[in-house]
Chain A
Amino acid sequence: MLNKLKKLLIFLITFIIIIFFNFPLINTILTAFKSSSAINAYPQQWIFTPTLTNFRGIFQQSSTPFGQYMINSILIALGSSLLALIVSIPAAYTIVRYKVGRKYFFPFVVNLRAIPLIVFALPIYILYRSMGLVDTRLGLILIDTLINIPLALLISVSFMQDFPVSIEEAARIDGCTVWQTLIYVIFPLMRPSIITVGILSFIYTWNEFLFGMILSINNSTPVTVGTTMFITAWGIKWGLVAAAMTISIIPPLIFVFITQKYLISGLAAGAVKG
């Protein structure tokens, strides 16, 4: 009896903790499914007839093309995660196997994340203006890659350090060139860390706001910035804002529930080692 009571109590506390930390999210998702009269109801209704009006609404406004924002965010996030991986993994190989840049370059790159991004915002804007990269996805991909590189390099290096050299040596004896060894032996072995880096970079880029705001006018606007476009000087249609936010959190939501293992190992690597 006492044991059951204890279990119930623990369950209750867990429930309260989850609700507490996720309340903004829950409230936003509920609001997204409410009609505007339900949103303005006093007091709040927790039980209501759900409607998809808001979700249709955000895709119908020509001044705020939400579909376009989503495509932008997907392409930018994919592009910069890929680019971060492409430059970091080979560099990690050099750092680990050839011991080049181990002492200063590697710690320097990993610690770039301690530098506040705002410091680069203005010069990047000026550089991009002269190169025609303002309001392009490529421009945002490049700057977001800078945000992703520290973690990508850190995870790649610490993962590669645990590889036994003997596998590579065997491949080399069998006649593989260094490039072939990299492509056919190392990359496949690095799959777990590639997935971890890919997912975390995707989420970080997806959530990026500062550069998305400064460097885009309307062609390359990502969802985080696009969502704020529904907040206008003429008033806020909360139903639309909530629907936009609900759609914007779908990718992180999917990753959190499906690839939890990779997320935690990435976060732990980022915090414990770097």
Chain B
Amino acid sequence: MNFLIKILNDEKYIKYFLIAPLILLLLFILGFPSIYDLVFSFFKVELGSLDNVQYNGIKNFTEVFNDSEFWSSVEFSFKFTVTAVLLEIILGLSIALFFFSYLKKFKWLISFMLLPMMTAPALMGIMFRLLLNDFVGVIPQYLSILGFPGITFLTREHVYKTLIIIDIIQWTPFVFILVFAGLQTISKDIIEASKIDGANAFQRFESIILPTITPILVTAGFFRFIDTFRIFDKIYVLTGGGPGNYTTSISIYIYKMAFSYGNIGKSIAASLFLLLFSLIPLYISLKFIIRKDLD
């Protein structure tokens, strides 16, 4: 016992005791899945008979590679992410700039802007099922009163736009709040001084505001990108990836492959592709975002 206490208090070891729980937990939760993914991407495994595995070579990968549904899900994810994130940045930036001059008076505004992004994405999806429902939904009702009857939002014709708007409603506030918080760090004196020096609104924006918010926009955009790229919950509860596989994102594809079709090997092979894709943003943030904070 004494020996144990001595070791626990030893300066040489204490640093390892402190970090050990985190490492052990990560090994437990991440270790097995990583190994499993790597190994079983080369095997034929079915959800129904998990213990009955057959070596499959690289067949899972070639199957995924030749699956048009996989490529259409990749295309959907990229298109959806780029569109949604760009619109969120433009809209969030505009709203933040609009309120910049009225910061103090509208503090409660921030609470209301935090609400949508703190709502579970899955619940946000269901809330929109209620809003857009053909029979009880408010939006179709009012549109038909306004003279646009029979618009069905989740059909092939409109579903893409609908999902984009839902994502915008939930995540524009994220960009807004970060930019808004960034704008508050600009001192009022600088703005006043520039006014006295005769700078117009555009010059002020270019030389004072823009340099402050550019890094914020980059990081906000980066985080929106990685989060939107793996979108699952919202689409799952709203369309389940349909109609057909029209709104199948990569995450939905991997889920369907494993849990609907039971083709685990193929699902894992697709996950490894997704993992490869996500190494790109990982690398970018390691290189450019984290580093400056560390040294």
Asked if A123 contacts B36 (CB within 8 A), the reply is yes
Known: A43-B142, A103-B294, A126-B36. A146 touches B120 (CB 8 A): no
Pick the contact of A22: B16, B18, B115 (CB < 8 A): B115
Number of A-B contacts (CB under 8 A): 269
- Least CB distance from A113 to B in Å reads 7
A127 at the interface (CB under 8 A from B): yes
| Interface 9-residue window, one of B103-111, B152-160, B187-195, B199-207 | B103-111
Asked if B133 contacts A123 (CB within 8 A), the reply is no
- Residue ID in chain B nearest A144 by CB atoms: B29
Asked if B274 contacts A203 (CB within 8 A), the reply is no
Cβ contacts under 8 Å, A103 to chain B: 294
- Residue ID in chain A nearest B127 by CB atoms: A24
Count the B residues whose beta carbon is within 8 Å of the partner chain — how many?
A: 97
Cβ contacts under 8 Å, B138 to chain A: 27, 44
Cβ contacts under 8 Å, A253 to chain B: 115, 118
- Least CB distance from A21 to B in Å reads 5
- Residue ID in chain A nearest B14 by CB atoms: A178
Known: A21-B172, A27-B138. A149 touches B230 (CB 8 A): no
Cβ contacts under 8 Å, B150 to chain A: none
Asked if B290 contacts A122 (CB within 8 A), the reply is no
A35 at the interface (CB under 8 A from B): no
Cβ contacts under 8 Å, A123 to chain B: 32-34, 36-37, 268
Asked if A273 contacts B37 (CB within 8 A), the reply is no
Taking Cβ atoms with an 8 Å cutoff, the residues of A that contact B are 10, 13-14, 17-18, 20-25, 27-28, 31, 39-40, 42-44, 83, 86-88, 90-91, 93-95, 97-98, 100-103, 105-107, 109-124, 126-127, 129, 142-143, 145-146, 149, 153, 158, 177-179, 182, 203, 206-210, 214, 224-225, 227-228, 231, 238, 241-242, 245, 248-249, 252-253, 255-257, 260, 263-264, 267-268, 270-274
Taking Cβ atoms with an 8 Å cutoff, the residues of B that contact A are 8-9, 11, 14-19, 21-23, 25-26, 28-30, 32-34, 36-37, 50, 95, 98-99, 102, 106, 109-116, 118-124, 126-131, 133, 135-136, 138, 141-142, 145, 169, 172-174, 177-178, 181, 215-216, 219-220, 223, 226, 229-230, 232-233, 236-237, 250-251, 254-255, 258-259, 264, 267-268, 271, 274-275, 278, 281-282, 285-286, 289-291, 293-294
Show 23 residue pairs from A and B whose CB-CB distance is below 8 angstroms, ordered by the A residue: A10-B102, A17-B95, A22-B112, A23-B131, A90-B22, A93-B18, A94-B19, A107-B290, A117-B230, A118-B230, A118-B251, A119-B37, A122-B268, A182-B18, A207-B121, A209-B233, A210-B233, A225-B122, A248-B123, A256-B118, A263-B114, A263-B118, A273-B289
Per CB-CB distance, the 4 closest pairs between chain A and chain B, nearest first, are A116-B230, A207-B120, A123-B33, A90-B18
